[in-house]
Structure 1
Amino acid sequence: MIRQYELVERVKAYDPSADEDMLNRAYVFSMKAHGSQTRASGDPYFLHPLEVAGILTQMKLDTATIVTALLHDTVEDTVATQEDIERVFGKEIGRLVDGVTKLSRLEMNSEQSKQAENFRKLVLAMSEDIRVLLVKLADRLHNMRTLHFIGKPEKRKRIARETIEIYAPLAERIGMHRIKDELEDLAFTELNGEARESILAQLARLRSEGEGRVETIIKELTDTLSKDGVPDAQITGREKTPYSIWRKLHNKNVSFEQLSDIMAFRVIVETVGECYQALGVIHSHYPVVMGRFKDYISTPKPNGYRSIHTGVIGPGRNRIEVQIRTRDMHEVCELGVAAHWAYKQGMPREGAREYRWLSEILDILEHAQKPEEFLEHTKLELFQDQVFCFTPKGDLIALPRGATPVDFAYAVHSQVGDHCVGAKINGRMLPLRTELQNGDQVEIITSKAQTPVPGWERFVVTGKARARIRRFLRTQQRAQYMELGRAILQRQFRQEGYDFSEKALDGVIKIFQQPTSDDLMAAVGSGLLSGREVFLAVFPGHKPHAQQQALTPGEAMDRAASTLPKPPKPKPRGKEQPLPIRGLIPGMAVHYARCCHPLPGDRIVGIVTTGKGVTIHTIDCETLESFHESPERWIDVAWDVGPDSPEEHVGRVALVVANEPGSLGTLSTVIGKNGGNITNLKITNRNTDFFELMIDIEVKDAKHLTNIVAALRAMPVINSVERSRGR
C-alpha cells in the first residue's frame, strides 16, 4: 500500500507546486470514508482508490486529478455526499468526482439500459473534462488487474469484453498506448486465455532461438547511426503484445512466422531534423521493405501520435520494423493526452483543443439542443479506425471502417446474414452495398427464402461475412446448380428420345474437365455448359429428326415457360354470394378496414360503425385501441370461406424495387404468374437507386399473399417486400 507521504512525494517530484495539503486531506478523507469496507480480494477497499491515484502519478497528472482518484468511489460506496466533497475540496474536485461517479453508475446499469445511450453518456462525460476519462481509465486498469478475484465467470467476461470494446479503444484514441496495451492484454487473458498462452509460447521460442539477436541488432544500428552523424540516438527493442499479435494474425490471415513486426526497434533522438537524418541513414544502409513506410510526423494520427515507421532488411538480414521519434514524441506516445495536458501548467482548458476530435465534440456539445442531436452530429467521431453502429434495440456493433449492412447482419448472427434481403439505415431503406457510418442505426430485413448472393463478396469487408458467403457458394449454391443441371439434361435427353442416366455422364466428364458427374451437372446448371453440348458428347453420332430444329433462346424460354403450372384463373363473381364471415346478421353491410386489409386466414374482429354497418379489422390492428372504451361495438366474427370461394380480397404490400429497366415488368409478371391481380400501385419514394412502392393485390387469402411475397423476395431486382398494414 502506498503510504500518505509516499503519494505526496510522488506528485511533488514532477510538480513542485502541487497542493500538498489537499492531497493529505483527500488521503485521510477517503480512508475514513471507506473504513472497514473490503474488495472481492479481501483487501481493504481503500487500497483501490489509492492504487488508482498511484497509476495517475505515473502519468504525472495534476493535483486535482490525483485527489479525484482518491475520492472517486466515496459518493457511490460510502455515506459521503456530493455536497461533502464540494464543501471540503471545492467545486472543481466536486465536478470531477461527480463525473466519475456518473460513469460508475452507468456501468452498473449497462445490462438494463441501451448501450447506445450508455456510450453517449460516456462521450458526454469525457467531453466535459478529459480528466474524468483519465481517472476512469486508471480505475478500469486497476479493476482489470484484480479481475481474477471475481467469482462469477460470466461477470468477468462481461467486464473484459466491455474493456476491450470500449475502454481500450478510448485509451488508444487519446494516445495512451501503455494503458491501452495493458487493458487489452488483461482482457485478452480472460476472454481467450488459451490463445494468449499459445502466442506467449511462440514468443518465448523466438527469443530462445534468437538469443542475443536483439542486442546485436541494437549495437549495429547504434554504430551505423553514430558513424553517419546521429551519435546520440537511443535505441531500444519493443516486443508486440500478445493481443496485438493475435489481432494481426486474424486480420491479415497469416501465420505467426509471416509477421514482420513482432519486434520493433525504437530510435529516439533530440530533434525532428535528426528523425529524418536517422531515416536517411537507415535507408541508405539497409534494403527497404516496400509498403512498410509511414510518416506520422508530417501527418500525425488524430490522437496526436507522431513517429516515423519503416520496415527494412536490417542487421543480420533480419526483417525488422524501426520507429523513429523525438523524446517529446515518445512521451506523448506512451502517455498520450496526459503527457502535456494543460492543467499541469495552470493553462486555460482550451489547451485541449489541439486534439481536433475532442474540440469538435466539445463544440457540438455546446450547440446541440438535445442528446439525440448530439449523437447524430458527432456520429461517434471518437473512433476513426472502426465503425460503431446500433441495432434497433440499441445494442452496439463494432465493425471495420468500410463495412456494409451485410457485414452488420453477419455480426449480429450468421443466420441473419444468410437470410438478409434488405436494410434500413436510420429508418431509410438503402442498398446492401451502402458503406456504414459511425452512429448509424441498422435494421436488417430477412426472409427465409433468401440465401447469400455471390455478389456480396465483392463489397463485404469482414472475414466472417466473406467466409459464410464462400461456404454457401461451395455448398448450397452448388447443390442448386446441380439440381438445375440435372433437370436441364433430363429435358434434353427426353426431347431427343433417350432416357437420362447419370452413369452416361461418367464417360464424358474428362472431355469437359470435370472431376465428377455432379460437377458436370453443376456446370450445366450454372450456365458454363449447355445441356445440348453434354448430350452430343454422350451421343456423338446422334442426328436430330428433320422436324427438330435448334431452338432460339426466346423459343427455349417459351418452351420452358409452357412447362410451368398455370395459376388458377379466378372464378367469376356471382351476383349474390353469401357473406364470407360467420357471426353477422344476413343483409348487414360489411366493410373491410383499409387500415389493416384483413384477409381470410387472419384473425379478425368486427366493429359496428354508425352509418356503415360493420367494419372488419385484423385482431392486431392498431386502430382497435381507439375502441377499447366501447366494448358494446365489438362483434365476435370469423372467416367462412372454403378453398373454392370465388371472392377475391385485397392485400397490400410495401416494396423496395431497384431503379433499373424492366423492374416493374418483373414485379407485375411475378404477381400475375402467382395468381394475383394488381388493383392499385403507388410510388411513395424514389431515388437514383430504388423505388419504394405500395401495391394493392387481389388474392384469395393470407396464404396466397404470403406466397406472392415469397416469390417477390426471390427476385434480384426486388430489394425488400413486406405485407403492409397501413393506409
Structure 2
Amino acid sequence: MSAETVTTEYYSEQEKKEIAKRYRKILRAAKELIKEGDAKMIRKALSVSMEAHKEMRRKSGEPYIYHPLEVALICVEEIGLGPTSIVCALLHDVVEDTSITLKEIEKDFSPKVAQIIDGLTKIGGSFEQTQSAQAENFRKMLLTLSTDVRVILIKLADRLHNMRTLDSMAKNSQLKISNETIYIYAPLAHRLGLYQIKSELEDLYLKYTHPEDFQDIQNKLSSSKTSRKRLIDNFMKPIKKRLEEAGLDFYIKGRPKHIYSIWKKLQKSNVPFEGIYDLFAIRIILKGIPADEKEKEKAACWQAYSIVTDEYRPNPDRLKDWISTPRANGYESLHTTVMSNAGVWVEVQIRTERMDEIAEKGYAAHWKYKGNSTSLDKPLDQWINQVRDTLESGDSSAIEFIEDFQSNLYTEEIFIFTPKGDLKVLRKGATVLDFAFDIHTEIGKKCTAGKVNGTLMPISHVLQSGDQVEILTTKNQKPSEDWLRFVVTSKAKARIKDLLKESNKGYITEGKDIIAKKLKNLGLENNLETINQLRAYFNKKDYNDLFYAFGKGHNLPDEISRFKKDKEILANKQKKIELDEKAFKDAKSFEREYKKVQGNDTLLIGDDMQQIDYTLARCCSPIPGDEVFGFLTINEGIKIHRNSCPNANQLLSNYGNRVIKARWASQIEKSYLVTIKLNGIDRVGLIQDISKVISNELHINMRGISVETFDGIFEGKIKVYVFDTKHLDELLHRLEGIEGVSNVSRDEAI
C-alpha cells in the first residue's frame, strides 16, 4: 500500500479540484488542532483512500472519495475531533471495501489508527437465522466504546453524511437506513451529548419515513418565521437590558424546536400545530467566565435565571437544574419555561460558553476542557463502564442486548448515593437490587434488602433521585427469576440472566420432553412450525423460554390442549372471514364501487416486482395505498407491514437483511378489513346515522360496531371493509360530518 502511487486517471479534472477543495476545508477547520507531522499523515490517508476507492462511485454518481472527505469534515467541524480522527475518517471504509488489510494500516499509520478502523469495519461472515448481522455489528461497535469513544463518534459522522445524501438511494434502502438511524444512532448521539447531530438525524428520519408530515411542519415553521423573530426580539428586550445592567457578558441564540420533536409532540398530545405552546427555545450564553471556575459559572447562570424569572412568570414544573447535577453525558444547563407578555410559553436555557460547547459537541468537547486527557466527568465514565460491563457479561443474543441497550439510551437518570457519599447514576425506575448489581455482581446476587435513607426497604423498592442506599446481604440468598420482573438496568438484567442460566439448562431439557409427549398425545406434529406457534401463543421470547416455562412448571401440559382448541377455532374464524369477503365481492354494492375505481390493485414484491404469496401483518393491518414493506419470517413466509407499523423500527433495524421491497399496483381485487375509532357527544339516533353513512351512502360492508357511553360522551369502534386508503379517507371524512362526532381516526390494529 503506497500513498505515492495514486491513480488519478479515474478522477476527472473537475473532480480532482473538488477533492482538493474539500481537503483544504478540513485542514482549515482543524488548523488549531494540527501539530507537527499531522498534516503529512492526513495527506497520506487521503492518498491511500483515493487509490483504494478509485473505481467506486456512490449511488448519486459522485466519486466515493467525497464520502470519507465529508465524514472527516463532520468529525472536525461538528464534533470537534482531531488529526487521528481525520485520518481514521478518511480510511474508515478501506478495509471493508478494498483489499487493504488492518496490518497494512497499522504499519503505514499506527496501532491506534488500526484499532479505530477495526471498530469501524463491519462484521462479515454468516449468522444464524434468529440472529441479525446489524445487531452483531452494533454490538461489536459498542465494544470499542470503553477503549476509544472515537469509533462511535466517527460512526455517527458516517451515519449523518449517509442520511444527508439519502435522496439518491432506493425507497426501500431509505426506509431501512432511516429506521436503523432512529433506533440506535440518534439515541447514541443523545447519550453522548451530540444534540445537534441527534436532532438532525431525527429530522432526516422523519423526512424519509413520513415525508408529508415533515413537509407540513417545515412549511408551517417557515411561514411563522417572521412573527417568531418579532416575538423573540420583544421577549428578550427587557432581559437584555437587565443582563447588561448586571455586568454580564452574553449572547442570544433563538431557534425553533426541531421538526421531529414537534412531530412527536403532535402525535402524543393529539393537538394541532398551533396548539403547541413551546415551539421554540431561547438560549442565553454567558461569556468571559474561565472554564475552570465552576462556582463562578454556577453563580452567573443563577443570576441570569433570576433576571429572567423577575421579568416573566415561570412554570414551576418546568425548572430543570442540570448545573448542580449534570446529566450522565456531561450536559450542563438551566432550563425554565416562562409566560411571555404575548401570552406564549417560552423555554429559556441558560449556560456558559463551556457548557454550550459541551452541549453541542458532547463527548469530544470534554477532551478540550480536560487538557485532552481521556478521563472524563464521572457520570459519563460510569455510563461507559456500565456499557462495557454489560457487553462483557454472558452470551445473550445480540438482538436482546441491542433492544435492552436501546431502551436505556433515552431514559432519564436518577442520582443515588452510597453510605460513604459516592454518587451513582442509574436509569429512572431503578430499584434497590439494580443499585446492588451496579456496585458489584457478588453484592447483587446476595442482596436481601436495602436501607434507603436509614429505612429498611425490599429489594424491589424503586429509588428516587437523592436517596442514600446501603445494601444488606446474606450468604444463603440466591437469584430468582422474579428479580427480572422489577430490575430495569441492563447491567442487573444481564447479571441475573447469567446467574440463572446454568440452573435453567435442566429445566429446558425437561420442558422439551414434556411438550414433545403432549404433542404426540394430541396428534399434533412436533416440528419447527408447531413449536414456533406455541412460542407465539404463550408469548415467549424464544424456544428456550418456552421449554423452560414447561420444565419449571410455569405452564402445564394441559395448556397445550387449549392451544390446539384455540388454533382450530381461529382456523374456522378465518374460513368465515374468507367466506364473508367472497360474498362481499359478489354483492352489487361492491360492483358499484368497483366501477368507480380505475384499474385493479395487486401487491408487487421483491426487486423484480413479482406477485408472490404473502400475508398481511395483523400488527398494522395494511391496505392498498399504504406505504408498505415485506418481511421474510422464519416460518410464515412473507408478511406485509405498513411503513408506520409500531414494529417497523425494530424489524428494519435488527433484521434489515430480511426486508423485501413491496408496493401496491393500480388494481383492486378485494376489500380489506380496517378498524375506525370515533368519539363525541352521545345523542338519540347517532348509531343509526353512522350506519346510514357506512351502509346506505357509501355501500360499505360493516363487520362489527361497538359503542360505549359515559356521562353523555361516547367512544366507539367500527370494523369495515374498504378498497384502499382513498376509500378509507372518504369514509373518515363522511363520519366526521355526522352531528355529535368529534374525532374519527383509523386504529393501528384490527
| TM-score (ref. length: structure 1) | 0.53
Is residue 275 of structure 1 aligned with residue 301 of structure 2?
A: yes
Q: What do residues 327-379 of structure 1 show as CA deviations (whole Å, max 9, x unaligned)?
A: 100000000001123799453567787432112223555x6465669987995
Q: Please point out which of 99, 114, 123 is paired with 1:94.
A: 114
Q: Distance in 1 between matches of 2:385 and 2:230?
A: 47
Alpha-carbon offset, residue 621 of structure 1: 8.6
Classify the secondary structure of the residue corresponding to 2:140: helix
Residues 248 and 110 of structure 1: CA distance in aligned 2, closer, same or farther (over 3 Å) = farther
- Output the amino acid matched with 1:155: S
Residues 275 and 342 of structure 1: CA distance in aligned 2, closer, same or farther (over 3 Å) = closer
Is residue 187 of structure 1 aligned with residue 205 of structure 2?
A: yes
Q: Please point out which of 165, 183, 195 is paired with 1:165.
A: 183
Is residue 253 of structure 1 aligned with residue 270 of structure 2?
A: yes
- Equivalent residues of 1:55, 1:138 under 8 A apart: yes
Q: Distance in 1 between matches of 2:105 and 2:42?
A: 13
Residues 3 and 240 of structure 1: CA distance in aligned 2, closer, same or farther (over 3 Å) = closer
- Equivalent residues of 1:175, 1:303 under 8 A apart: yes
Matches within 5 A, 1:250-329: 250-269=267-286, 270=289, 271-329=297-355
Q: Output the aligned Cα RMSD.
A: 4.5
Ranges in structure 1 where 5+ consecutive residues have no aligned partner = 388-399, 404-426, 442-591, 604-617, 623-653, 657-681, 686-690, 711-727
Is residue 238 of structure 1 aligned with residue 255 of structure 2?
A: yes
Ranges in structure 2 where 5+ consecutive residues have no aligned partner = 1-17, 290-296, 413-426, 431-478, 495-512, 529-536, 540-548, 570-750
- Output the amino acid matched with 2:73: G
**1:334 aligned partner:** 360
Alpha-carbon offset, residue 64 of structure 1: 0.9
- Equivalent residues of 1:380, 1:438 under 8 A apart: yes
Q: Distance in 2 between matches of 1:16 and 1:25?
A: 15
Residues 266 and 693 of structure 1: CA distance in aligned 2, closer, same or farther (over 3 Å) = closer
- Equivalent residues of 1:237, 1:263 under 8 A apart: yes
Q: Distance in 2 between matches of 1:90 and 1:598?
A: 61
Q: Please point out which of 372, 380, 390 is paired with 2:405.
A: 380
- Output the amino acid matched with 1:278: A
Q: Please point out which of 92, 110, 113 is paired with 2:132.
A: 113
**1:129 aligned partner:** 148
**1:153 aligned partner:** 171
Is residue 55 of structure 1 aligned with residue 69 of structure 2?
A: no
Residues 219 and 363 of structure 1: CA distance in aligned 2, closer, same or farther (over 3 Å) = same
- Equivalent residues of 1:37, 1:45 under 8 A apart: yes
- Output the amino acid matched with 1:93: V
Alpha-carbon offset, residue 326 of structure 1: 0.8
**2:647 aligned partner:** none
Q: Please point out which of 29, 51, 55 is paired with 2:48.
A: 29
Is residue 596 of structure 1 aligned with residue 621 of structure 2?
A: no
- Equivalent residues of 1:307, 1:325 under 8 A apart: yes
Q: Distance in 1 between matches of 2:174 and 2:371?
A: 39
Alpha-carbon offset, residue 173 of structure 1: 0.7
**1:357 aligned partner:** 383
- Output the amino acid matched with 1:245: I
Classify the secondary structure of the residue corresponding to 1:235: strand
- Equivalent residues of 2:23, 2:69 under 8 A apart: no
Residues 253 and 703 of structure 1: CA distance in aligned 2, closer, same or farther (over 3 Å) = closer
Residues 107 and 594 of structure 1: CA distance in aligned 2, closer, same or farther (over 3 Å) = closer
Q: What do residues 86-128 of structure 1 show as CA deviations (whole Å, max 9, x unaligned)?
A: 110011111111110136x599999972665444333223333
Matches within 5 A, 1:404-419: none
Alpha-carbon offset, residue 283 of structure 1: 1.3
- Output the amino acid matched with 1:11: A
Q: Distance in 2 between matches of 1:236 and 1:5?
A: 30
Classify the secondary structure of the residue corresponding to 1:212: helix
Q: What do residues 668-718 of structure 1 show as CA deviations (whole Å, max 9, x unaligned)?
A: xxxxxxxxxxxxxx9986xxxxx8464779xxx9699848999xxxxxxxx
**1:611 aligned partner:** none
Q: What do residues 376-423 of structure 1 show as CA deviations (whole Å, max 9, x unaligned)?
A: 799528834359xxxxxxxxxxxx9889xxxxxxxxxxxxxxxxxxxx
**1:629 aligned partner:** none
Alpha-carbon offset, residue 67 of structure 1: 0.3
- Output the amino acid matched with 1:242: I
Q: Distance in 2 between matches of 1:34 and 1:94?
A: 18
**1:391 aligned partner:** none
| TM-score (ref. length: structure 2) | 0.52
Q: What do residues 208-267 of structure 1 show as CA deviations (whole Å, max 9, x unaligned)?
A: 44552222323332113223x143121221211111110122223333223222111101
Residues 191 and 595 of structure 1: CA distance in aligned 2, closer, same or farther (over 3 Å) = closer
Q: Distance in 2 between matches of 1:286 and 1:594?
A: 68
Q: Distance in 2 between matches of 1:86 and 1:706?
A: 64
Classify the secondary structure of the residue corresponding to 2:348: strand
Q: Distance in 2 between matches of 1:111 and 1:599?
A: 26
Residues 369 and 284 of structure 1: CA distance in aligned 2, closer, same or farther (over 3 Å) = same
Residues 369 and 254 of structure 1: CA distance in aligned 2, closer, same or farther (over 3 Å) = same
* Higher-RCO chain (CA-CA 8 Å, sequence separation at least 6): 2
- Equivalent residues of 1:56, 1:66 under 8 A apart: yes
- Output the amino acid matched with 2:265: K
Matches within 5 A, 1:518-537: none
Classify the secondary structure of the residue corresponding to 1:12: coil
Report the identity percentage: 35
Q: Distance in 2 between matches of 1:353 and 1:71?
A: 32
Residues 347 and 693 of structure 1: CA distance in aligned 2, closer, same or farther (over 3 Å) = closer
**1:80 aligned partner:** 100
Classify the secondary structure of the residue corresponding to 1:220: helix
Classify the secondary structure of the residue corresponding to 2:30: helix
Alpha-carbon offset, residue 297 of structure 1: 0.9
Q: What do residues 581-611 of structure 1 show as CA deviations (whole Å, max 9, x unaligned)?
A: xxxxxxxxxxx999614777x44xxxxxxxx
Is residue 40 of structure 1 aligned with residue 59 of structure 2?
A: yes
- Output the amino acid matched with 1:259: I
**Equivalent residues, number:** 442
- Equivalent residues of 1:287, 1:312 under 8 A apart: yes
Matches within 5 A, 1:240-639: 240-269=257-286, 270=289, 271-341=297-367, 345-348=371-374, 354-363=380-389, 368=393, 370=395, 380=405, 383-386=408-411, 596-597=517-518, 602-603=522-523, 620=526
- Output the amino acid matched with 2:250: A
Is residue 221 of structure 1 aligned with residue 223 of structure 2?
A: no
- Equivalent residues of 1:18, 1:63 under 8 A apart: no
Which of 1 and 2 has greater Rg? 1
Q: Distance in 1 between matches of 2:125 and 2:306?
A: 51
